[in-house]
Every structure is written in structure tokens, then in C-alpha cells.
Structure 1
Amino acid sequence: MKYDNLLAASLAAALVAACGGGSSGGGISSTPPPPAAPTPSPTSTSAPTPTPTNSNVGNLVADEAFSTLSSGSDISLSVIDAEVGGASVEDRKVAISYDASTDGYTVSLGGQGSTFTSAGIIEQGEYPGTTRYYTESGNSSEFLTISTRGYSQNSANQYVALGYWQRNVLNGVQQETEFDTFVFGFPASSSAVPVSGLGSYTIDIFGALSVVGTEARALSGSGLLELDFGTGAWRVRTTLGEFPLADYGYLSGGSLKFNADGFVTSNRRLDGIFTYTNLDGDFVSGDVSGQFYGPAAQEVGAAFSGGTGTGAVLNGAFTGKRDNQSRAGTLALTNIQGDTVVSGYLAEALGTIQDDLTPAFRGFYGNTYTERPFTRIHFQQDGTINVQLDGALVASIEPGELVSSDGAYDVYETTTTSAFGTAGLPLTARIFKPGTANPEVQLTYSSFGILEQEISGSDYLQQVRRYFTYGFDTPEGHMNVRSGSASYSGIAVGTTTNSSGLAIDVDGTSSFVVNFSSDSYSGMLDLQADDGGTIVDLGTFEFASTITNGIMDAANFDYPTALSASVQSLNTIIPVFYGPDGSEIVAPFSILRGPPNAIGTTTITGVAVAIED
């Protein structure tokens, strides 16, 4: 068996222990003879022996009670095929202490627990850094596994260990299991955790997945925990392997995603959300709680647990070490590090005024693109910003093309690429500034840009406006952990036309109300236009739709008559959550004003941004 399968295989053996697990041994030891009377020793005049203290979690030499971060689940399963009959997440706080005299551990919940000594070791040394203990009494059995070395690591952890404690009660062919994962060790002081810069930790993840009606599975895998200590954001993006417990198989693939995101709290701990997607497409989401370990925060550990609310439960933990070879990527637009690629959506409008036709104004049509992602923005190391729309590079904006940085936008005068139809034509690019320098809305994880182009000839004027959004969107499933409702407020900007067909600027306010309990949202845009200094009230536009696995579905604005699917994108808004906890919303939109496909019809096309109140 490979070492990287150890923890999962250990869990498999434990969960189906009733099918032939450990035994209590046999034989009766003879009574040992009484010890000889001790010979008195002369009084020592040497210095007293120093009291031993612990400094390595894998080599404990003194009694110690540890604080833990833990997660638990209760599982009912068949010992014949490991099919789960019921499962639930349990909020339990495991305590663990080490006894140097017995070289053993006591684990407990609420003062009630079990002691595991060296006499109960059933596996040690075969897999470096891992020790397994076993006890049984009647139809009950318990397993304790302590691991100080992750399966992706070349050496053991010094400051943090991962443990899992399992209690089984066998009733015929049914097994009732309480399963708790936890991490413990020597936490870093808050002053030891950096407050600026980037950091990364190679981590090893382990857990138990229970889905009612299917075979119980263990999970394991490795990944990279990336941190931006300045903004406090952190994330994990990796895939895991699944180990069915009855047939001891192994399942892997890119669809088994483990995503975790969160923040470093004010006391320098980790707080966040995880989502795991299994082979059946279930999104198992829940909370992550972690902290740093070691005098210089060299190691990290965390516990996580969650469910779908429909019969799938996952709890587990991860530990890891600082990785100075792997560079953390950009986690916030306010702190772009090196080459960074982000994606989003697009709303665009194109209009033509042609003097040799009657009427001259042919229309100004907006469109929103629901493909995900439609835009890709590449921030290069040298400061160049490449804008791709639907896979085509439409603009390469260089730092030297910046002409203004006043107000809410950085404004560039650049030129088109061939993807616009003709390369080298003048193009104005406006990039909405992230961060505190923006006087309108202070975004951290999302933003948008505007590409403006006007092409004129002897008898025509073509006007193009493209509103592209981008950023670090909230992973699918993360918002499933939230309940109740939340409100978001911000601004909206865009373009429409006046009666002559000339493009005029639109601005206003945006608001969203998200009901996480009912998986729905609603919103409103209150818009006005500036027509040569005259302010025109465009009205209030409402919308509402559903949320699927934490992703807001596109919504349609009200329209006097039913619109066919082919023109619905002219009257649509696409809100997207951004940030580790969905604290920002960016939404490209197009609002139809007039009969579709009619000469002279116009739209209001733009983007709304909002921050959670």
C-alpha cells in the first residue's frame, strides 16, 4: 500500500472493523515477582535534572494537554457493503492530552473519553509519522490515529499533528459510528503571523464523506494553501481522491474539487468556507476553522465540516508546512502579484447612424453574454492589461497609454486589435479602480472595464460600448452555507442614446436583496442619463431570479410583452458574487427600450456593482 493512501485506508479498516477488525489479544500473563528492596542511594550534590518540556509534536517527552480544532459526524452504515443509512454533522469539541509515563493519549468529549496507551498500538513505524491505536469492549470498538507527517511531505511536522477518533457500536449488521477529526500542537502567537506579503503552505487533507444510500468513502489529497497576509484573504484549490470503504478502491479525477476560501482574523487565525464536489455532483459546503503553529508560524492546521442538507455529510482536517518554493498567486485585485488572469462576463452595445437612410438612426442594441466565462483579463508582470472577449484578444493596454487617473477610473487611449475587425483604430479603455482610491465604490475582489470606440465615415457613425467584468468570483457552493438574507448597495453605469441616436452616459444606483434561505434574490436599478448637460430620468428597473448552488441565475427585466429566447439577452442582468464570502456583486446588464429588432430601438447597457451592507 502506498503511503499516500494510508490515512484513507486506515479509516476504511476502522469503519468496517466489525467485518473483521482488530482484536484484544489473548492469554493471561503470570503474576510478576515482587520487586527487590531498593538500595539507598547517596545524597546527590549535582544540579537537579531539568524538567522536560515538549517542543516537537512527534516526539513528546512530558505530560501535556492540547487545545484542538475539531469536526465531527455521526454515521449509520451497513457492515456488509458500507452503505450509509444516515449521517449528520455534529458540533463536538475534542480534547486530547498526552501522558509521558504511559506514552499514551486520552481523548475526550465533555469530560467523557478513552485512554490509548502503547499497549493498544496496532500500527506504528510502517508508515512514517503515523500511529494507530485500538480498543474494544463487547460490541463496541474505538480507533485513534495520530499522524505527524502528511503523505505529500518529505519529513514530519514539528508543531502540528492530525488525529481522528472513531467509536463504533455494532448492532447485527448495522454499525453506528461517531467520527471526529482534529488538529493539535503548539500554536503560533498572533505576533508571529505576518501582516503583509504573500505566503503558501503545502497541505494534506483527510476526511470522511457519507452520502445516504451510497457507499461510505474516505477522502484524501494534497494542495496549496495560498495567503495574502496584507488583505487577509486565503484560498485552497485542489482535487481529492475518494476511497470507497467496502471494496477498497480508489476514485480520482478533476471533478472531485475541494475549494476553500476565507480570511485571517484579527487574532491571526483562519476562518472560512469550503465546498467539495463529489462524483455524483453533490456540493458539500461548510465551515473551516484553522490556525498557525510553531514559533514562526511555520505550520498550519484546520478542521472542516459541512453537508448538503439532503443527506451528504463531510468532516475532516488538514495540516501543512510553509512552502518557500511555491509562490502564492494573486488573491485580491488590490494586490496584484505577477501575471494574473481573471474572468467574467460582458455586456455590449453597438449602434449606427447612417445619413443616407431614413430614418438615419438605425438602432443601439445591447446584449449580455451568459457564457461563463466570456471575458478573460490578463494582468502582465510589466503592467500590460490584455482583454480577451470570447477567446479573442481585443485590446492590449500598455502602462504608457494611461492618460488620466482622476476619479473612479484609470483611462487609457489605446488601439484595437484585429479582433475588432480592423487593427490600429483608436480605442478608449476605462478601468474601474479597485480599492480605497476609488471615490464611488471600494471593491477588493472584483471590478469592470469599459471599451469605447467610435468609427465614422462620410455618411455614418458607428458607436461601440463594451462593459467587461472580472475578478475572483465566489466558488460554486460556498454561498450554500449562508442563511437568512443580506442586502447589497452600490452604483450602476452604462450607455444609452438620445433621440438623435448619439450615445449618452448613464449612471445611477443599484441594490440587491439576497434570500439565502429560499435561494432567491431581487434587485433594482435607478438610472438617469446626461444628455448634453440635461439630466434625463430613465426610471427604475426591477428584476428577480433564483440561486443555484450559490450562483445567482440570470434575471430578466420586466417588458410589456413576452420576449423570445433569441432576444431575451437584450433585456437581462447577470449578477455574480465575488470574494471569499460573496461580499461583492458585479452585474453586466442590458435593458430593452422599444420593440426588438425595430429601427430606432435602443437599450440601456452597462454594469452594476454593489457591496454587502
Structure 2
Amino acid sequence: MENGQAASGALTIAYDAGSRSYTISTAGRSATFAPADLVESGSPDFISFEKLGTTSEALTLTRPGTSGALTYRYVGGGAWERATVSGDQLDFSYDPFTYGIETPDTSLARTGTGVYAVSLVGARAMEAPYAMAGSGTLQVDFLSGSLASSGVLTSIDVGTGLIKGIGVYFGEASLSSTANNFSGDFFMDDGTRFTGGWAGRFYGPEAEEVGAAWHLTSADGQVAAGYMLGRQDGTIEPVNWTLTPLVFDQGFAHRFSELSFTDLGGGRSADNAELLRSDAYLGYDADTATYRYLDTARGIDMDFSPAQLVAAETDARLAVYSFTGSDGLTYRLTLNQPGAGNPAIQLSYASFGRWERAQASASDRIDRWFTWGIRTNGFQIPSGTGEFAGIIQGTAARFRGGPVYALSGTSNFSMDFAGGTFTGSLNPIGTSLSDGATRDFGTFAFARGAIDLDAGLTADIVNNNNAYLGFFEGALYGPRATEVAGSFGMQTENTDSGGAGSSNAAYLSGVIVGTRTGN
């Protein structure tokens, strides 16, 4: 395949009722397809026309209907194909489009959320042309004009029926504030990363259906294009695009850092401290404003409702929930308050939480920190570099017993988005819960920081001698990676040689949340 190109453009389709023919025009080319050109499509979803000659042409249209992945009442999809063979060279063009009964500009909703089940049809030029098919969901916030669609997109060898590649796609777009049209960026990755665009509109008197055309190009010269059709589907749960506020049910899987210790007195003094990191889940029920904390591996499953909010401890910075379980133990959930009113840090997409269990007669106190929120889609990771500044929250306890510390402090990140790496440092400050004394634990560096394709972050925490002290696990948050958050667990001294550490050595567990400060 050589000289492949993919782009968007204007196309018109006109139907002549008298002759029952379709005329397609784009880029200075035009063709008319009449009933005499009808051929078997091989699928109940499509109507196909074909004209053979020096330049062979075909038109494929979706059939109208009220149900099914490709049969719609108001929107249709189509593709005009042209192929010219000269010697061993094939010149091929594929023009996908959508058409139908458009929602009038003045009738398009400007409030609320729409959720659509969508299907995709397309073609891809690799070493030869291949078909593409996919499915996914599309969500639109009519008030802000934001759209997003994601799902699966498969490449298929038409001759053999074999799948050549299975990829994920993601599209983001902006809806015009005055007209029924949207456009934006479109991406796919099936081992090869594609970038491109899409544009479309809503169809039906109340935007019951949606249609869009998309195109893609890879760095190695592959191209693809197609169309997307969809209808509103009330069985699909919408997702939150921001934490300010949460308006839909949603679950947030996360990694946590946990410090467990023998409580020697009201959480202010500890012995036998240990660190743990693992997976858990925070769910939100929008109808009841209730959070569910779940850790199936450790038998934890509990709800924190508004009735359990501790008013005396809740303010613009933190929301604190607490209850006594049937086992007689106290459980607490503390969540950062999102939005501009938080005096500690203003976050819209990232947040942090703390889950605690009081000490039982046969087991230690548990103090667990985690971050959660609206993660950056992997396709939205920006290019270039970015600087972030953050704050620390957490808990510390000494190796050999002594005071428990509440952690604060600062952190910074230098992201190389293009290279998939980052560096930075954290400076945790402890305040003793026993006597209020302050302890500066020092400044530690992030080493071997990596940004994965899903916007996840991992790094080792090291001392000035590059000795391993602990871990950082987090992610980028927000549609443009404007925020960062993650949990960390570490010790202040390296004990790899088998030493027990000094009497002042400590375990630290907590979270870092931050915002982007510059390029």
C-alpha cells in the first residue's frame, strides 16, 4: 500500500423518487446508482449497488428499520467505493458518510445527557483493503457540548473472513452551541496507533439517533475510514466526566497503600507497623449519595451514607463518615472535597480517600490511603512535557514503636509525555499525634517513573544514594491530564542488607494529589 490518505470532506447524497436512484457527489466526483445496478449485498443489513467498467464503482447503504445494530429509523450510513486497476496497481477510494432526517437546530436539546449504543463500519488499507466493524457507546453532555465515544474496532480480511486486528477506539468532540453538528479527534490502537478525526450530527425529531463519519492515519502510512451509527439506549449507564459534582452511579477501582500497627493509645502511638499495597474499589450511588467501600480479597464490604457523615469533622476540605459495625469496631471513610471551595487544593477530576478500621482484640488497627477519580483516557495523554505540583496526605509510624504521625508536605512531577517517563520528588512532613511535634522526614526522589498507555503512573521512591525505599502508583486525571494523583508507601531507611533500621526510622503511607503548573 502506497500513498494512502484519510481526511474529512463534504459529500452530498440525493435521492430521485421518480427514478429510484441515488446520486453521490464529493471532491469533484459524481456517480448515480439506479435499480438496474442493484446486486446481492450478502447481508440483510445492507443494500448494494455495483457498476463495472474501467473504473468499477459500488454504493452500499444500510437498510432502514427500527431495531438492529445497523438498521435505523432516522439515520443511515453508506460508502461509495471506486476502484481502477492499471497493471499491478490498484487505485482505490472509499467515501463513507451518514445521512437522514436531521434533528432541527432549534429542536436539539441544550441540557441533559444522552447515551447511545453505536456500531461502526469502515475500511482499512494495509497491504490491501480490509473491512472494519465495531461497536461501542457514545455519551453527550448537551449543556457543555462535550461528546465522547469508545469501544472496539476490528479489521477483517474480506476474502478469508479472518480477523487481522482487534483494537480499541476513542473519539472526543465538541457540539456546536447553535447548530446540530459536532467534530473532534478520533483514535484507534490495535498494536498500531492511529490518529484522526470525526464529524457528525443527531437525527430524529428529538435526537433519538446519531451518525458520524471518521478517518484515521498511522505513522507507518496505514489509513482507515468509516461511519458510526447509533440510537439512544436507556440500558447504558452514563459515566461522570468530572467530580464536581458526581451525578451518576460509578465505580472507581484503585490501588491503596495501607499501614497497619498495634495501637498503643487512641491512634497516637504505635508498635509493629507494617506496609501493604493492593487493590480495592470505591463505588458511588447517585440516588442515595452513598459510597461503597469494597475489598473482596480481605472481606471488606461496607456502605457510608449521608446519615453517617460526621458534621463536626466535615468541612470544605474533607468529608468524614463514621459508624460502628456489628463487630463493635469503628470504621471511617474520609474523602477529599472536590472543587474550587477546597482551601487545601482545588481538584475537579482527581481525589483521595482514607479508610480506617479501629483495632480489634486479635488484629491491628488499619489505616489505608487511596486515590480515585476521572482518569485521563490513554488517547488523551498530551505530547511534550508537563510540570505538576502536589500536596501529601498520609500516616507514618516508627519501625520500633513510638508516635504516629499525620503526614503533610509537598511533591512535584516532571512528565515527559512523549517518552512515557517522569521524574520528581516528595518531601513528607510529619506531625506527631502524641505531642504535636513536627518532623521533616526528608526529600526523596522518584526513580524509573513510567507513564503507561492507559495513563497509569508507577515509580520507585529512592534516597540520595538511589537506594530503593518504596513505591508510587497513580495516574493522570482529567481530559487533558491536568491533574495527577497516586498512593505511596515507603520506609525512610534502606534495610535491604538485613539491618533493622535506626530507632528513628519510619514507615510512611499516603497519597499525593496535584495539578499541572506548566509545560
Is 1:91 the equivalent of 2:1? no
Tell me by how many angstroms 1:555 deviates.
Answer: 0.9
Q: Which has the higher strand share?
A: 2
Q: Give the distance between the partners of 1:88 and 1:425, measured in 2 at CA.
A: 66
Change (3 A) 1:284 1:506: same
Q: Give the distance between the partners of 1:291 and 1:514, measured in 2 at CA.
A: 37
Q: Which residue of 2 aligns with 1:4?
A: none
Is 1:146 the equivalent of 2:46? no
Change (3 A) 1:266 1:533: farther
Q: 1:607 aligns with which of 495, 511, 515?
A: 511
Deviations 1:91-122 (A, max 9, x none): 2414224264864323222xx21222426733
In the TM superposition, 1:409-488 aligns within 5 A as: 409-415=318-324, 423-455=327-359, 463-475=365-377, 477-479=378-380, 482-488=382-388
Change (3 A) 1:412 1:304: same
Question: CA contact under 8 A between 1:354 and 1:461: conserved in structure 2?
Answer: no
Question: CA contact under 8 A between 1:95 and 1:108: conserved in structure 2?
Answer: yes
Tell me by how many angstroms 1:133 deviates.
Answer: 3.8
Q: Give the distance between the partners of 1:347 and 1:530, measured in 2 at CA.
A: 19
Is 1:219 the equivalent of 2:132? yes
Q: Which residue of 2 aligns with 1:72?
A: none
Q: Which residue of 1 aligns with 2:78?
A: 163
Q: Give the distance between the partners of 1:610 and 1:149, measured in 2 at CA.
A: 50
Q: 1:542 aligns with which of 432, 441, 445?
A: 445
Tell me by how many angstroms 1:534 deviates.
Answer: 4.9
Q: Which residue of 2 aligns with 1:243?
A: 156
SS state at 1:344 partner: strand
Tell me by how many angstroms 1:587 deviates.
Answer: 1.2
Tell me by how many angstroms 1:269 deviates.
Answer: 5.0
List runs of 5+ in structure 1 lacking aligned partners: 1-75, 77-85, 418-422
Tell me by how many angstroms 1:393 deviates.
Answer: 4.4
Deviations 1:128-186 (A, max 9, x none): 78443444553x3333333364882595332x332323332324444342333233445
Q: Give the distance between the partners of 1:136 and 1:486, measured in 2 at CA.
A: 55
Q: Which residue of 2 aligns with 1:62?
A: none
Question: CA contact under 8 A between 2:445 and 2:463: conserved in structure 1?
Answer: no
Is 1:512 the equivalent of 2:437? no
Q: Which residue of 2 aligns with 1:45?
A: none
Tell me by how many angstroms 1:266 deviates.
Answer: 5.6
Is 1:330 the equivalent of 2:239? yes
Q: Give the distance between the partners of 2:5 and 2:486, measured in 1 at CA.
A: 35
Q: Which residue of 2 aligns with 1:384?
A: 290
Q: Give the distance between the partners of 1:424 and 1:232, measured in 2 at CA.
A: 50
Give the residue type in structure 2 aligned to 1:328.
E
Tell me by how many angstroms 1:233 deviates.
Answer: 5.4
SS state at 1:595 partner: coil
Q: Which residue of 2 aligns with 1:398?
A: 305
Change (3 A) 1:393 1:239: farther
Deviations 1:6-47 (A, max 9, x none): xxxxxxxxxxxxxxxxxxxxxxxxxxxxxxxxxxxxxxxxxx
Q: Give the distance between the partners of 2:102 and 2:387, measured in 1 at CA.
A: 37
Q: Which residue of 2 aligns with 1:595?
A: 494
Change (3 A) 1:119 1:232: closer
Q: 1:340 aligns with which of 250, 260, 271?
A: 250
SS state at 2:402 partner: coil
Tell me by how many angstroms 1:411 deviates.
Answer: 0.1
Question: CA contact under 8 A between 1:227 and 1:331: conserved in structure 2?
Answer: no
SS state at 2:307 partner: helix
Q: Give the distance between the partners of 1:553 and 1:87, measured in 2 at CA.
A: 38
Change (3 A) 1:502 1:208: farther
Q: TM-score, normalised by structure 2?
A: 0.80
Q: Give the distance between the partners of 2:492 and 2:86, measured in 1 at CA.
A: 69
Q: TM-score, normalised by structure 1?
A: 0.69
Question: CA contact under 8 A between 2:201 and 2:212: conserved in structure 1?
Answer: yes
Q: Give the distance between the partners of 1:583 and 1:88, measured in 2 at CA.
A: 35
Q: Which residue of 2 aligns with 1:11?
A: none
Change (3 A) 1:282 1:437: same
Percent pairwise identity: 23
Q: Which residue of 1 aligns with 2:424?
A: 523
Question: CA contact under 8 A between 2:8 and 2:214: conserved in structure 1?
Answer: no
Is 1:501 the equivalent of 2:399? no
Q: Give the distance between the partners of 2:12 and 2:258, measured in 1 at CA.
A: 59
Q: Which residue of 2 aligns with 1:300?
A: 210
Question: CA contact under 8 A between 1:509 and 1:526: conserved in structure 2?
Answer: yes
Higher Cα Rg: structure 1 or 2? 1
Q: Give the distance between the partners of 1:155 and 1:216, measured in 2 at CA.
A: 25
SS state at 1:517 partner: coil
Q: 1:586 aligns with which of 477, 480, 485?
A: 485
SS state at 1:196 partner: coil
Question: CA contact under 8 A between 1:351 and 1:364: conserved in structure 2?
Answer: yes
Give the residue type in structure 2 aligned to 1:517.
A
Q: Give the distance between the partners of 1:88 and 1:516, measured in 2 at CA.
A: 28
Change (3 A) 1:468 1:547: closer
Give the residue type in structure 2 aligned to 1:384.
T
Tell me by how many angstroms 1:352 deviates.
Answer: 4.1
Give the residue type in structure 2 aligned to 1:388.
L
Question: CA contact under 8 A between 1:427 and 1:453: conserved in structure 2?
Answer: yes
Tell me by how many angstroms 1:594 deviates.
Answer: 1.1
Change (3 A) 1:409 1:553: closer
Q: Give the distance between the partners of 2:341 and 2:366, measured in 1 at CA.
A: 28
Q: Which residue of 2 aligns with 1:69?
A: none
Aligned residue pairs total: 495
Question: CA contact under 8 A between 2:126 and 2:222: conserved in structure 1?
Answer: yes
Question: CA contact under 8 A between 2:410 and 2:428: conserved in structure 1?
Answer: yes
Deviations 1:237-271 (A, max 9, x none): 54455532221x2659xx94544353544637545
